[in-house]
Amino acid sequence: MIVHETTASRVLLGPGSRHAVPDEVDRTGASRVLLVSTGSAAAAAADLAEALDGRLAGRFDRPVVHTPLSVTDEAMSVVTSSVADVVVAIGGGSAVGLSKAIAARTGMPQVVVPTTYAGSEVTPVLGETADGVKTTRRDPALTPGTVVYDPELTLSMPEGLTLTSALNALAHAVEALWAPDPTPVSDALATEAATGIVGSLPVVLGAPADVAGRSRLQGAAWLAGLCLAQTRMGLHHQLAHALGGTFDLPHAELHAMLLPHVMAFDLPSAPAASARLARAVGGDPVAVVAGLAASYDGPRTLRELGVPREGLAVVAERVVDAPYPNPRPLVLDEVLALLEAAWG
């Protein structure tokens, strides 16, 4: 039996859509905004703060990757002092994650404006970190009620972040295709997302100011995020959570470097996913993704990210002891070999 669930959310997509945020706040019925922003979105956040005018009750500009509980506690003190009743987040995945953490504790509505391709803005998933361990939970109430995609806000993304963030999005689509709970809708979303990401990413990397290319890439990342919302993720995301939480690693870079290794590991055990991806990317999926990942002008191995080799065994054991659903059964030596290859 196939079960398909869709999380309710309102999505705006297109150049200039950020200017609709004040109206979207009004639609929630709330009036006191806590504005959460990342440093990379400082200029856009300043413009948004001005546009919110009298609605702006407080600001928090220190979200951190992997949503540490200590940072959420800091943000909650601002929520209390400002008497905010709606959170507006603008920036990358750390801003969106903090917005979800605040909503989880307050029930406040969320309006989020992503400036990267992370995809978490359309998911009911929240990952939080404490004492070096990242845990995730899934609850429809965590999904932001309104998402505003404005490709103009991605024009200033560095080339490296554009690449790694897009590969992060691609990972959602890839794992949806070998998930244990696919539906015709998730398969269609994942296939279109992979086609759009792989097709538009080289265009955007070659012409960063191409708004049409950015818009297509952003739309494809949205679809990939919906895959993450609707299916259960496997080994790739489990490794990213385990490594990222343990060693405090940059989220997008970690996903980008792991993806070709996990695809090579899992696709032989997932022939239907392999066939769909081959059609979507126009060739050998592993070779295409590995080629994109290899073009990154930054850390491309776990070693270069600062992961100690002796820490790999602990991560492998943690993954094998409580595995996410995966098309290939997880054996300790094989998972460790995958990590060794990614270590470099």
Q: Report domain extents, the chain.
A: 10-154, 159-343
Q: Give dist(CA 111, CA 144) in Å, integer.
A: 6
User: What band does 155 get if pLDDT is binned at 50, 70 and 90?
Assistant: very high
Return the pLDDT at 311.
96
Strand ordering across the sheet containing 110-114 = 10-13, 146-149, 110-114, 86-91, 33-37, 56-60
Strands 125-130 and 133-138: antiparallel
Summarised one tens digit per residue, pLDDT across range 5-40 is 777 789 999 999 999 999 999 999 999 999 999 999
pLDDT tens digits, one per residue of 309-320 = 999 999 999 999
Go through 209-225 and write b for each residue having 16 or more CB atoms within 10 A of its CB, e for each that does not.
Answer: ebeebbbbbbbbbbbbb
Mean pLDDT of 94-119: 96
> Average pLDDT over the chain, rounded to whole?
95
Task: Assign a CATH topology to domain 10-154.
Answer: Rossmann fold (3.40.50)
Q: Distance (Å, rounded) from C-alpha 6 to C-alpha 80?
A: 32
Query: Higher pLDDT residue, 1 or 275?
Result: 275
**What is the average pLDDT across 277-289?**
97
Helix (H, G, I), strand (E, B) or coil at 23: helix
The pLDDT of residue 159 = 95
Q: What is the pLDDT of residue 53?
A: 92
| CATH class of the domain comprising 159-343 | mainly alpha
* 220: its two tokens: 């494809």
Burial of 323 (0-12, 13-18, 19+ CB in 10 A): middle
